[in-house]
Structures are given as C-alpha cells and as structure tokens.
Amino acid sequence: MFRGVATAVALTVLLVPGLVAALPGDRVDGPSTVTEVAVRDVQWDTTAACDLTTVEALATRHPSTRQLVVLSTNAFGDTYGAAFVAVRDGGGTWRCQTNEVTARFGRSGTRPLLDRRSGDGTTPAGVFPLGETTAWDGQVVNVFGNQPDPGVKSGIGYRSVRQQDCWGAIPGDADYNKLVNRPGCSGPDNEWLPRFGDVYSHAAVIGANMNPISGDSPAEADHAYAAAIFLHRHSYSSSGGTKPTSGCVSVPDNELAATINLLDPTLDPHFAIGPISWLRASA
C-alpha cells in the first residue's frame, strides 16, 4: 500500500469549540468554516522491508538527497547483491519505497570508481547522481529504452532508442561516455543501443564519470574510469539463470520499471553502489 502521494487536498472543516482542537498557528474565534490545504509528501510502501541502516549511514554523508537507489553486495568481488529504493519523508524519516530484489553486478564484482578503468569488468562503487546526457539530436536523457516509456515522472528525460543511437565507450575518444549518432556503432567498447534489445528495455543512466573531465580526449585518457553505466534488466543464460554484467547493474524487469517510475528529480535521487560495510563507512 502506498501512502504520502505528493498531492494537495483542500479540506473544509467545521471548527466547533470543545470538539475540534486547533492546530498550531490556527486561529479559532468561534464556530466557522475554514478551508485548509493538507499537503501530503512522498510515497512509500508500508509493507516493504529494506536495509535502512545502510541508508541512514549514507544519508549522513549525502544530506541533500531524499531518494537513494541502493545496489549493494557483501564484498567487492561479489557479482550478486540486492537492490531497493528508499526515500526520506517530509518529517526526515527514511522509508522503504520497494522491497529488496536480487541484483547482478559486473563479472569482476565492484570497485571504487577512481580505482577502476573502462572495460575492467567491474561495476563502479560509490554514490552517483541520476545521470544526464544530451543526445546527438538535442534531447536531454536520464532514462532510455527499446520499449515505450513505462511512466517516468515529470522532469525525467525518457528517450525511445533510435537506430542511430550509440553510447561511446572508447577511452580518449571524443565520443567517450556520450550518446552519439553512429548507426551500427563500430568499436570494441561502444554500445549500439538497439542491439541490446530487451536487456535495455529500459535503462536508467547512473551518473558515474560524467563530469567535464571524463576521459573523452587523449589528454584525459587517465580519467576514463567508467562509461555506459546503467541500471537495466537482467540478461539470462541459455539455462535461464541470470548473468553478471560488463559493469552495469541489472535487476528483474518488473522491478526495473517500478524503480524507474519512482525516480523523482525533486528528491535529488542517487545510486549507492558497493559492499554494505563500505557503503556504511566510506561511500
């Protein structure tokens, strides 16, 4: 059950002395009809369970964010872990917006962003904002997909993948970590988004290594820490099991859509990635 949907409801209340207590700041001179606006805050799932201990530890170091997508493992070498979304309500209490689900990480586990390099098979560990890029045709993109918009919130840029869409991932190249027009997308690391089909049914951009100095020129090759880091759907083996990623994080399809639809730009959403003990102490 969700409560706290961000909406305002006008309430007309008959105030009768002795029957209705005045709220702080209310002026009650006698029986009257008063219109008040009750503003409800964010939504959360009252039945959900998640790791709020880690969330609260992260919140002390990242006080500006009110929404965390936690993608955690037990150790840096793990390729399995958990994913959930938490939100801080208007009273300052953190709540679980989703239950924990199984997540998959890079084939070589996770590694702090500045200790990794593109193509090393790890998922960057750290706390990163929801990524944003401007595509080759001028569209601002936070989430993209080979399927239609699942219902993202206002202010989230959703892009339906075009045949021209290539996410550059060659260190030192001008297109590194950018969404460019390159049909077929040649190169060993570049990602031609249509090729990924339902694995990229929807994908949220994780803002790892997306600052101006990010490895997109030969002089910045040493800063090519990460490119094309997304939260996307699981990939499956021929036997039906989930597969590790090349550096992204994956979750089940239904939970992916639910997470993407919860992302709220007014809450400064961030992704917290890495081992639980490290997230609690260092991230």
Looking at the whole model, is its pTM more than 0.75? yes
Cβ atoms of 114 and 225 within 8 Å: the answer is yes
Angle, CA 125 vertex, CA 58 and CA 103 arms, to 5°: 90
Higher pLDDT, residue 283 or 13? 283
DSSP string, 225-263: ---S-EEEEPPB-TTS-B--BSSSEEE-HHHHHHHHHH-
Q: Over the stretch 145-167, which tens digit does the pLDDT of each residue have?
A: 999 999 999 999 999 999 999 99
Percent of the chain at pLDDT > 70 equals 83
> Looking at residue 29, what is its pLDDT?
42
Does 94 score more than 50 pLDDT?
yes
Strands 67-73 and 270-275: parallel
Residue length of the chain: 283
> Looking at residue 215, what is its pLDDT?
64
Angle, CA 199 vertex, CA 194 and CA 200 arms, to 5°: 50
228 in the Ramachandran plot: left (φ > 0), alpha (ψ -120 to 50) or beta?
left
Does 16 score more than 90 pLDDT?
no
Across residues 39-62, what is the average pLDDT?
Answer: 90
> Looking at residue 30, what is its pLDDT?
42
> Looking at residue 213, what is its pLDDT?
61
Nearest to 274 by CA among 76, 103, 21, 48: 76
Other beta carbons within 10 angstroms of residue 281's beta carbon come to 10
